[in-house]
């Protein structure tokens, strides 16, 4: 009976592995164009060490759309567990869900 249960739990179809990440939704201040970028937390975050040797992560993103020549700069800071701590944006705004 246990065997059958295990098969049921683990024997399913191909396992879908979704990369850990989030969507960065921003709007261009100049023309209103919207961007929905998927940020992969395991490949796109830069690792930083502070004076105490604590690990933090950061993301710097430059976005330019087809609508105009405005560059949007996004800067995000994450803690050691890759939770968002702070974020800044220039020439654009964050779109809240």
The residues that touch Zn ion, with contacts defined as CB under 5 A, are 28, 30-31, 33, 65, 67-68, 70
Shortest distance in whole angstroms from residue 74 CB to Zn ion: 14
Residue with Cβ nearer Zn ion (30 or 56): 30
Q: What are the C-alpha distances in Å from 65 to residues 68, 76, 96?
A: 6, 20, 19
SS3 per-residue string spanning 3-29: HHHHHHHHCCCCCCCCCCEEEEEEEEC
Residue with Cβ nearer Zn ion (29 or 41): 29
Residue with Cβ nearer Zn ion (6 or 68): 68
């Amino acid at each position: 009976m246990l065997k059958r249960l295990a098969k049921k739990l683990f024997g399913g179809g191909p396992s879908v592995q979704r990369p850990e990440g989030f969507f960065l939704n921003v709007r261009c201040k100049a023309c209103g164009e919207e961007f929905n970028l998927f940020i992969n937390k395991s490949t796109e975050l830069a690792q930083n060490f502070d004076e105490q040797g604590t690990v933090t992560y950061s993301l710097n993103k430059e976005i330019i759309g087809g609508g105009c020549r405005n560059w949007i700069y996004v800067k995000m800071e994450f803690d050691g567990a890759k939770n968002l701590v702070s974020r800044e944006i220039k020439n654009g705004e964050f779109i809240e869900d």
